[in-house]
């Protein structure tokens, strides 16, 4: 595994903050926003919410190590640069850097904000019309479809290289597809990597009434005071391999993917961007069925949990319906979400949740849900299978610990993974 999240450059640092209930989502001062280029009119806008979770060092990159020129690196979307670095670090962590094994990569990147802010204005306009090499570098460096192929090229990977784009569920959908590729024998190992950067980072957002974006500048998943989500920045990668071969080869196994499923809401919802109970429920049921484990054996569930007042209850209802198909038990599964702690990582959100769930399993501690005080009254929490922890709690190892990870993409693509 490898990651770079707000406040954490390693899994150990990430777990430190998770266990302590630390949030890296913060409000920017007027001076910070002004220094970042905000106009006085914008600063005076009462709907401006200057909040986010920042990632350090997004402008750093070892171009020479990856065989790129300085100019090529400069015009390449930082999301692709960070994804490339993180995939290399995951290979190193797994002991497969430079390996001749058949390794594939499924990757995803977020919105192309770097290109929107600087690519047309500062790069293409300065490139001579007859300099086709420079033109191509600018175009390739900012086209999201090349993210996985860039990693395959620069890291010498000869398995399938596919870019996945299902909005906020991209990373977890990639995990599902990577497992399918391994089961089909398309590769010996599969990398899954995702990066999301909201550039420039010190900006925030304009709140619009009825939107999913927070006015308060804080994410309060499943809380009565939830008022929306806040963007974050991060990158992560995991290396997957069939369990029997990993054990035979003496690899370090952080966790086992027992099963996964992907669904779409279809037309069974109020609008294109709206979530659906049925679509999400079916993803959970599919993952449980493929895992061959009952819902009441899952003691932790890392939810999508964006902190929207209406969206959270829809997700909660879907999770409850899926679990109710297996058990009538109550309060046996702890619920969590990364977004109150590190913001919404867009395409990379699923990997942030998966790695968190893996760390929960490893350490045997249920962490607190950051910013949670009292449950959204629409949840019916008391009669549900779930409990929302407000402080770190030991998770005794009574056999095998299991966790679920849930992810929702705007447009309707849902993913669920059991580990």
- Mark whether 107 and 213 lie in a shared domain: yes
Among 304, 333, 406, 416, which one carries the catalytic annotation? 304
pLDDT in tens, 82-129: 999 999 999 999 999 999 999 999 999 998 777 766 555 555 555 555
Domain annotation covers residue 253 = no
pLDDT grade, residue 396 (50/70/90)?
Answer: confident
Domain boundary among 218, 248, 278: 248
* Known catalytic residue at 89: no
Asked whether residue 47 carries a pLDDT value surpassing 80, the answer given is: yes
- Mark whether 21 and 141 lie in a shared domain: yes
Go through 290-303 and write b for each residue having 16 or more CB atoms within 10 A of its CB, e for each that does not: bbebebebbbbbbb
* Known catalytic residue at 344: yes
- Residue of 112 and 325 predicted with greater confidence: 325
Among 205, 207, 344, 406, which one carries the catalytic annotation? 344
- Asked if 230 and 52 count as a contact pair (C-beta separation under 8 A), the reply is yes
* Known catalytic residue at 198: no
- Mark whether 270 and 215 lie in a shared domain: no
Q: Name the burial class of residue 247, with classes exposed (0-12), middle (13-18) and buried (19+) by CB atoms within 10 angstroms of its CB.
A: exposed
Q: What is the pTM of this model?
A: 0.94
Domain boundary among 248, 281, 303: 248
**Averaged pLDDT, 307-332:** 97
Domain annotation covers residue 254 = no
Give the separation between CA 118 and CA 132, rounded to whole angstroms: 19
pLDDT grade, residue 204 (50/70/90)?
Answer: confident
**Averaged pLDDT, 342-369:** 98
Q: Report the pLDDT value the prediction gives residue 210, as an integer from 0 to 100.
A: 79
**Averaged pLDDT, 58-64:** 95
Asked whether residue 141 carries a pLDDT value surpassing 60, the answer given is: yes
**Averaged pLDDT, 21-41:** 95
Give the separation between CA 42 and CA 204, rounded to whole angstroms: 11
pLDDT in tens, 248-297: 999 999 999 999 999 999 998 889 989 999 999 999 999 999 999 999 99
Give the separation between CA 133 and CA 140, rounded to whole angstroms: 10
**Averaged pLDDT, 7-35:** 97
Among 86, 87, 168, 333, which one carries the catalytic annotation? 168
- Mark whether 241 and 314 lie in a shared domain: no
Residue range of the domain that includes 414: 259-418
Q: Report the pLDDT value the prediction gives residue 130, as an integer from 0 to 100.
A: 56
Percent of the residues in the chain that have a pLDDT greater than 90, as a whole number:
83
Give the rounded distance of the alpha carbon of 328 from its chain centre: 31
Count of domains in the chain? 2
- Asked if 400 and 258 count as a contact pair (C-beta separation under 8 A), the reply is no
Tokens of 411: 């447009």
**Averaged pLDDT, 233-239:** 99
- Mark whether 87 and 201 lie in a shared domain: yes
Q: Which helix (H) or strand (E) is 150 found in, with range?
A: helix 147-155
Q: Report the pLDDT value the prediction gives residue 12, as an integer from 0 to 100.
A: 98
């Amino acid at each position: 595994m490898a990651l770079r999240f707000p406040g954490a450059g390693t899994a150990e640092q990430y777990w430190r903050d998770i266990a302590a209930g630390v949030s890296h989502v913060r409000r920017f001062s007027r001076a910070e926003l002004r220094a970042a280029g905000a106009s006085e009119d914008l600063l005076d806008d009462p709907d401006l919410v200057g909040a986010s979770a920042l990632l350090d060092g997004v402008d750093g990159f070892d171009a020479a190590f990856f065989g790129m020129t300085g100019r090529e690196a400069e015009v390449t979307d930082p999301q692709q640069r960070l994804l490339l670095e993180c995939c290399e670090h995951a290979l190193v962590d797994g002991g497969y850097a430079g390996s001749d094994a058949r390794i594939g990569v499924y990757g995803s990147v977020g919105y192309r904000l770097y290109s929107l802010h600087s690519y047309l204005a500062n790069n293409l306009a300065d490139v001579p019309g007859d300099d086709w090499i420079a033109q191509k570098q600018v175009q390739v460096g900012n086209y999201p479809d090349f993210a996985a192929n860039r990693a395959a090229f620069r890291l010498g990977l000869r398995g399938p290289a596919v870019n996945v784009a299902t909005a906020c569920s991209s990373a977890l959908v990639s995990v599902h597809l990577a497992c399918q590729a391994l089961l089909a024998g398309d590769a010996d190992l599969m990398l899954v990597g995702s990066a999301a950067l909201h550039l420039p980072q010190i900006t925030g957002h304009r709140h619009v009434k009825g939107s999913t974006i927070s006015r308060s500048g804080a994410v309060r998943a499943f809380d009565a005071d939830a008022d929306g989500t806040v963007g974050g920045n991060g990158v992560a990668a995991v290396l997957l391999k069939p369990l029997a071969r990993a054990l035979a080869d003496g690899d370090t196994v952080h966790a086992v993917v027992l099963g996964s499923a992907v669904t779409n809401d279809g037309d069974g919802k109020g609008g294109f961007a709206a979530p659906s109970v049925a679509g999400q429920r079916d993803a959970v049921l599919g993952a449980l069925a493929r895992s061959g484990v009952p819902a009441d054996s899952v003691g932790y569930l890392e939810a999508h949990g964006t902190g929207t007042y209406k969206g959270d209850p829809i997700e909660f209802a879907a999770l409850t319906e899926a679990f109710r198909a297996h058990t009538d038990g109550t309060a046996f599964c702890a619920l969590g979400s990364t977004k109150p702690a590190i913001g919404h990582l867009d395409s990379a959100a699923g990997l942030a949740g998966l790695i968190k769930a893996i760390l929960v399993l490893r350490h045997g501690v249920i962490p607190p849900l950051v910013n949670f005080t009292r449950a959204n009254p629409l949840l019916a929490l008391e009669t549900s299978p779930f409990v929302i922890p407000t402080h770190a709690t030991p998770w005794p190892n009574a056999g095998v610990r299991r966790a679920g990870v849930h992810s929702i993409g705007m447009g309707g693509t849902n993913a669920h993974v059991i580990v």
